[in-house]
Structure 1
């Protein structure tokens, strides 16, 4: 006997909720993009770091599988950091990550604000004092 509305005989629901935006993007083969709130949050951090003299340039890439905000100290260099949005990882380890130039993931998570806290700590070079 089938359960009403399930469409399966064993009574298990196999339906997955997919956000409309993701379904439309997959169907139309659209690139992954940052929405207005996400970009506002990232650009606010970028402005603070530029004011502190740490960052000088940025680039935004909207690729088929992810969106990347790359941060540069100089325009001619490799990016120092990349803020990556990968919707395919949203249910696993989180859609957001901060990656260094060497490919090391500094922080990963489900919420952009929490992932960007990795930049709250100012790392400084410590010099040994000789006596």
Structure 2
């Protein structure tokens, strides 16, 4: 039985041990941008994928198409170019970095442009 104030980590049901995932604060930042893009009419759907090497969040205009943006978390690249990568619709790397907020910046700028139009 857990003691008050102690932190127990409980695996997500169906999640395999050793699988890369998003922490709560990371997912909150990603879903915040996603929600604002939905409200602006840019995105309508999303998908997440978790493997032993990478966690992926993909945003779609329509689910049957390619993702318009894809955010990947690869912890093995933490010491190199950064574990976060933002990919565009055609698979091009738009931004890499050590901090999620910096990698999400191009999406934030696009959102600001949409509001100004």
Shorter chain as normaliser: what TM range? 0.7 to 0.9
Residue 64 of structure 2 corresponds to: 76
Within a 5 Å distance, the mapping from 1:118-129 to structure 2 comes to 118-122=106-110
Q: 1:94 aligns with which of 82, 98, 113?
A: 82
TM-score (norm 2): 0.78
Instruction: Indicate which of 102, 109, 120 corresponds to 2:97.
Output: 109
If the length of structure 1 is used for normalisation, what is the TM-score? 0.70
How many equivalent residue pairs? 97
Across the aligned residues of Structure 1 and Structure 2, the Cα RMSD in angstroms comes to: 1.6
In structure 2, C-alpha distance between the alignment counterparts of 1:82 and 1:66, rounded to whole Å: 12
**Whose relative contact order is higher, 1 or 2, with alpha carbons under 8 Å and at least 6 apart?**
2
Partner of 1:85: 73
Find the residue that maps to 2:109 and give its secondary structure: coil
SS at 1:82's partner residue?
A: strand
Q: Deviations over 1:46-77 (max 9, x none)?
A: 00000000010000101110000001000111
Q: 1:91-114: per-residue Cα shift (whole Å, max 9, x none)?
A: 000000101132210000000011
Structure 2 stretches lacking a partner, 5+ long: 1-15
| Structure number with larger C-alpha Rg | 1
For structure 1, list consecutive stretches of 5 or more residues without a partner in the other structure. Answer: 1-27, 125-131
